[in-house]
Amino acid sequence: MELLIYSDSAVFSERVSPILYRNEDIYSLFLGILGQIQANQYEDYFLAIAEEEGEIVAVCLMTPPHALQLVILQHFPNIEKEIAGHLQNLGIEVSGIVGEQETCHLFAEAWTHETGEQVKVLMNQGLYRIDAVNKGLRKSEGSWRIASKKDAEILEEWYRLFEEETGINQSTKTEAAHRIAAFLERKEVYVWEVDGRVVSCMKKSRPSKNGITVSFVFTPKSKRGKGYARTLVAEVTDELLMEFDFVTLYTDLDNATANKIYREIGYEQIANPVHLVFEEQ
């Protein structure tokens, strides 16, 4: 098996996108991040294709320090181990992996066998898809709007709290401010407002040809239990479905409340990915 590294994201996309678009919802994260790379939203990235006799058998994408995405397109014995070996021989640093359960665990086993690191499950994920919002949902008081620069300060605070609660990352205040500024510039964040006060937020991200993803759904603890997030996600999802065929989102399956809310809106689980991280013993 040969591992081909690509510095040109357009050439890489031309080769892999037609294959991944056959299951656009399942591979929405990979396709969405690839789109962001092509839109120059990442300076540092790693793209690779594994080939066997000229045929694509797996694809890799990583935007350090974020986890590796590895999609196996043709399964054969020890393919994950072989790819891990190639990456280690190249000196590629991998902090973790996200994707299909078996692929991730087999890669992690091979990777940490060589590095001596331990594997930690950061999140057992649910990938959800929706094509139409359920009718008759009870609506919370208030209304949604696209966030503006006047919301930046509170969104920066919520972003760091969201990261703390999910455990995915921990941005500095400066990093959070930079990210929120970029989100606002692209008009990606939506807020729920009650009596002129912002009480909940969410964002859209990673559009593909026919779908888009919902993320950063957050309500501060003092405002929870009032249905603000559910109403915000339901109404904005309905709006997004006027432009896209479907909307996806990732959840922590250990968060029963969040999963229940999304199912009430009409989201249905289509996959069970996992996010693994590699840590020193």
Do both 250 and 161 map to the same domain? yes
d(CA 23, CA 33): 16
Q: Which domain holds residue 74?
A: 2-115
Do both 166 and 42 map to the same domain? no
User: First CA to last CA across the chain, in angstroms?
Assistant: 31
Do both 110 and 143 map to the same domain? no
Please state, for a pLDDT cut of 90, what percent of the chain lies above it: 94
Q: What tens digit of pLDDT does each residue of 9-44 get?
A: 999 999 999 999 999 999 999 999 999 999 999 999
Q: How far is CA 224 from CA 160, 204, 213, in A?
A: 17, 21, 23
For the chain, how many structural domains are there in total? 2
Q: Is residue 259 part of a domain?
A: yes
- pLDDT score of 167: 79
**DSSP letter (8 states) at residue 138:** P
Q: Is residue 281 part of a domain?
A: no
pLDDT tier, 58 (very low <50, low <70, confident <90, very high otherwise): very high
* Cβ proximity of 153 and 205 under 8 Å: no
178 contact partners, CB below 8 Å, separation of at least 6: none
Do both 202 and 267 map to the same domain? yes
Tell which of 115, 148, 169 closes a domain. Answer: 115
Do both 40 and 154 map to the same domain? no
Q: Is residue 254 part of a domain?
A: yes
Do both 37 and 148 map to the same domain? no
pLDDT tier, 61 (very low <50, low <70, confident <90, very high otherwise): very high
> How much is the mean pLDDT over the chain?
96
Do both 20 and 143 map to the same domain? no
pLDDT tier, 168 (very low <50, low <70, confident <90, very high otherwise): confident
For range 50-70, the mean pLDDT: 96
d(CA 92, CA 130): 36
How far does Cα 214 stand from its chain's mean position?
9
The domain that holds 219 is classified in CATH as 3.40.630.30
**DSSP letter (8 states) at residue 149:** G
- pLDDT score of 213: 97
Among candidate residues 281, 278, 267, 269, the one with its CA nearest the CA of residue 119: 278
Q: What tens digit of pLDDT does each residue of 91-135 get?
A: 999 999 999 999 999 999 999 999 999 999 999 999 999 999 999
Q: Is residue 162 part of a domain?
A: yes
Q: How far is CA 168 from CA 20, 43, 80, 88, 164, in A?
A: 25, 20, 24, 24, 8
For range 257-264, the mean pLDDT: 94
Do both 106 and 167 map to the same domain? no
What does residue 27 show for φ and ψ, rounded to 5 degrees?
-100, 25
For range 61-70, the mean pLDDT: 96
d(CA 279, CA 276): 10
Do both 161 and 31 map to the same domain? no
169 pLDDT exceeds 80?
no
d(CA 87, CA 80): 11
Q: What tens digit of pLDDT does each residue of 214-233 get?
A: 999 999 999 999 999 999 99
Do both 88 and 203 map to the same domain? no
Q: What tens digit of pLDDT does each residue of 77-90 get?
A: 999 999 999 999 99
Tell which of 115, 150, 184 closes a domain. Answer: 115
d(CA 184, CA 176): 12
Strand ranges, E, within the chain: 2-6, 46-52, 55-62, 68-72, 96-99, 118-130, 143-146, 189-194, 197-205, 211-218, 246-252, 268-271, 274-279
- pLDDT score of 142: 95
The backbone region for 63, taken as left when phi is positive above 0, alpha when psi lies in -120 to 50, beta otherwise, is beta
Q: Is residue 253 part of a domain?
A: yes
Tell which of 89, 115, 141 closes a domain. Answer: 115
Q: Is residue 85 part of a domain?
A: yes
Q: Is residue 9 part of a domain?
A: yes
